[in-house]
């Protein structure tokens, strides 16, 4: 997934604005021409993501700060492993430390949990998808992080794919009518229908939709759904997906498994910046 640099610039500018405000009054205690070297290490296992955001923090504070990386986005790391070395103005390093680490540890948290879920379905044909349950303001960043961890992206927002849910169906009159309206208004977009029963699934199949979301189907229903589908549409399982259950879900033969856990049930990767 390509992330526009302008998006990173805006995200970092907003983060620095809320943290630095009118200026870092504590960093001003350090002589302006003081120079430091610092290293970032990880205290736990994980998958790194967020290098561009980390670099942009210091680029906006002081373009003379130099960063040498020992890892790339998507690399696995272990406790006490060195991530990068920074050299430059002590003031800039101190001011940017928290914001830079916030981006790196949050996006690394997302890529790390995505890697766990992707590993859990390895050897099956299922792909793990993210959802729109992201941290406000970090939608693109977190979806990029999911990719770094080996997961795949569902729709980015409400504009790049059509997902017809229960309330859309009720308002439209039926699954068939909702699908027909979608094809008229946005013929170029993927059309997916969320169903809660095999009867609704049959209606979606009759409407020839490209993908069907099987909402909270248990394993037996998923098996029946795969048989009923007979290869006609892409099938996506969703609802109460956990690391303990995802393997069994994948083995039913569905094409995709989506879970909000990749972007909302995250714990920041434990990172630390140490000054020499």
Q: In what order do the strands lie in the sheet with 82-89?
A: 66-69, 82-89, 35-42, 271-275
- Measure the CA–CA gap between 257 and 247, rounded to whole angstroms: 10
Is 10 among the residues known to form the active site?
no
DSSP 152: B
Of 94, 114, 125, 186, whose CA–CA distance to 154 is shortest?
114
* Catalytic-role residue among 34, 72, 98, 267: 98
Is 24 a catalytic site residue?
no
The question of whether 165 is a catalytic residue gets the answer: yes
Asked if 128 contacts 249 with a C-beta cutoff of 8 angstroms, the reply is no
Residue positions counted in the chain: 276
Contact criterion met (CB below 8 Å) for 130 and 263: yes
Helix (H, G, I), strand (E, B) or coil at 272: strand
Among residues 165, 183, 247, 264, which one is catalytic? Answer: 165
Residue tagged active-site, from 130, 192, 194, 236: 194
Distance CA 47, CA 160 (A): 28
Catalytic residue among 43, 76, 132, 133: 133
CA 121/CA 119 separation, integer angstroms = 5
Residues 45, 215, 234, 270: which is the catalytic one?
215
| Contact indicator for 144, 52 with CB cutoff of 8 Å | no
Q: Please tell me what DSSP assigns to residue 174.
A: S
Catalytic residues, which ones? 98, 133, 165, 194, 215
């Amino acid at each position: 997934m390509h992330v526009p640099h302008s998006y990173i610039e805006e995200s970092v500018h907003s983060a620095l604005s809320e943290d630095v405000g009118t200026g870092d009054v504590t960093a001003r205690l350090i002589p302006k021409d003081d120079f430091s070297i610092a290293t970032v290490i990880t205290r736990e296992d994980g998958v790194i993501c967020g290098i561009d955001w980390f670099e942009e923090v210091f680029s906006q504070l002081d373009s003379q700060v130099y960063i040498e990386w020992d890892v790339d986005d998507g690399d696995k790391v272990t406790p006490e492993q060195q991530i990068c070395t920074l050299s430059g103005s002590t003031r800039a390093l101190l001011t940017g430390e928290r914001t830079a680490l916030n981006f790196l540890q949050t996006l690394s948290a997302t890529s790390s949990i995505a890697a766990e879920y992707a590993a859990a379905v390895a050897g099956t044909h299922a792909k793990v998808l993210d959802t729109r349950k992201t941290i406000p303001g970090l939608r693109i960043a977190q979806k990029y992080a999911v990719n770094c961890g080996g997961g795949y992206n569902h729709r980015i927002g409400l504009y790049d794919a059509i997902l017809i849910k229960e309330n859309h169906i009720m308002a439209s009159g039926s699954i068939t009518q909702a699908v027909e309206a979608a094809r008229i208004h946005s013929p170029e977009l993927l059309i997916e229908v969320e169903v809660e029963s095999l009867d609704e699934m049959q209606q979606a199949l009759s409407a020839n939709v490209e993908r069907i979301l099987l909402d909270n189907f248990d394993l037996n229903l998923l098996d029946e759904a795969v048989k009923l589908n007979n290869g006609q549409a892409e099938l996506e399982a969703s609802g109460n997906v956990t690391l303990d259950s995802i393997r069994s879900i994948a083995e039913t033969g569905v094409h995709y498994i989506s879970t909000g856990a990749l972007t909302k049930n995250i714990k920041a990767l434990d990172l630390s910046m140490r000054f020499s």
